[in-house]
Amino acid sequence: MLNRLLRPAALLAAAGAITLLASACGGSSPASSTSSAPAYPALASSPACTQLRSQNPNLAGKTLTNAINPHTPGYESISVSDPTKYEGFDVDLSEALGECLGFTVSYLPVAFDALLPTLQSGQANFIISDIYATKDRAASADFITYSKVFDGVLVAAGNPKKITGIDDSLCGTTTALNKGFVEVPLVDAQNTKCGSEGKPPAQTALFDNNADCVQAILSGRADAYINDVNTVNRFVKDQSGKLANASTLHLPYSIGIGVPKGQLPIRNAFTAALTQIQTSGLQTQLAQKWQLDKSAIQAPSLVTAS
């Protein structure tokens, strides 16, 4: 009797095993860029990169994993024409670093607030994902800066709440933000200020990715969304007539490449390769390619906890 019951269970198990095998063999893991021909031959063959490869034999020929939160078109998102690939400024930058230092890049897509834990756990080797290099975050990783930060304030077309930036105009409004973004403590600080001035609170609504934040504005659940200005402008262009950029703010941060804390060989190699990419003009070209009009290149500098 039990055998009669076990038979379908065995069939189910077999079906499960076949599924596992099929997906294991199907190679459906997304988006490791496997282009054999170098995209940046001039960079790869530059004396600086040649020398870096010989100085860092432990990187050459390896596959390094880049933790990304691929929800920011222009910086990193899947490619619409080939969704198995990631594309954007940050993706090109990490590919360029790879070519200079001789490693291949694979991508691990995680939630924004999981970027640092993923790096710390060793599941990823570095982070290039439009992440701002703050002192707080430097407690979890070392950062090599590559760009200044300008934020935009995405609002519904016509800016019905008359929002002007992270200031008293936010009192009595709700700002949609990604979990873990640096803007969260800034808006929270403004909320405290609103309270002390006897004004209604500046609330936040936290989401997992940009698309959810934009939907919050479109559906009227939030009044503003504050993020990198290039990202904001892209959303405005895509949903023209429904969205607008209320203001452009300079934040006292830089965008950085996250590497494991205290691992000097990889940190030094990345810094040197990034310097070469900037001095060769490649970073400017990439910014133009991805229409990052407000990309203000910043020479590599370290942001660490100490």
Continuous segment of H or E residues that includes residue 269: helix 264-279
Determine phi and psi for 105, rounding to 5 degrees: -105, 130
* 3 state SS for 149-189: EEEEEEEECCCCCCCCCCCHHHCCCEEEEECCCCHHHHHHH
Residue from 33, 56, 118, 204 in contact with another protein (CB under 8 A): 118
For position 231 contacting another protein by CB under 8 A, the verdict is no
Asked if residues 141 and 262 have their Cβ atoms less than 8 Å apart, the reply is no
User: Which residue's CB is nearer to another protein, number 24 or number 39?
Assistant: 24
Residue from 104, 239, 248, 298 in contact with another protein (CB under 8 A): 239
The residue range among 150-158, 189-197, 235-243, 291-299 that interacts with another protein, by the rule CB under 8 A, is 235-243
For position 117 contacting another protein by CB under 8 A, the verdict is yes
User: Which residue's CB is nearer to another protein, number 117 or number 172?
Assistant: 117
Q: Show the site string, 137-176: x = touches another protein by CB under 8 A, - = not.
A: ----------------------------------------
Q: How far apart are CA 131 and CA 71, in angstroms?
A: 12
Continuous segment of H or E residues that includes residue 86: strand 86-87
Q: How far apart are CA 204 and CA 44, in angstroms?
A: 45
Tell me the HSE value of 109 on the side-chain side, using a 13 A CA sphere: 18
Burial class (CB in 10 A: 0-12, 13-18, 19+), 190: buried
The residue range among 130-138, 139-147, 231-239, 279-287 that interacts with another protein, by the rule CB under 8 A, is 231-239
For position 2 contacting another protein by CB under 8 A, the verdict is yes
The residue range among 118-126, 136-144, 257-265, 296-304 that interacts with another protein, by the rule CB under 8 A, is 118-126
What secondary structure does DSSP assign to 182-230, as a single string? Answer: THHHHHHHHHHHHHHTTPPP-EEEEESSHHHHHHHHHTTS-SEEEEEHH
For position 177 contacting another protein by CB under 8 A, the verdict is no
For position 294 contacting another protein by CB under 8 A, the verdict is no
Q: Which residues pair with 154 in a beta bridge?
A: 225, 245
User: Which residue's CB is nearer to another protein, number 40 or number 107?
Assistant: 107
> From the CB of 195, what's the least distance to another protein, in Å?
31
- In the complex, the residues that contact another protein under the rule CB under 8 A are 1-2, 4-5, 8, 12-13, 15-17, 19-20, 22-24, 26, 28-30, 70-73, 77-80, 83-84, 108-111, 114, 117-118, 120-123, 208-211, 214-215, 235, 238-239
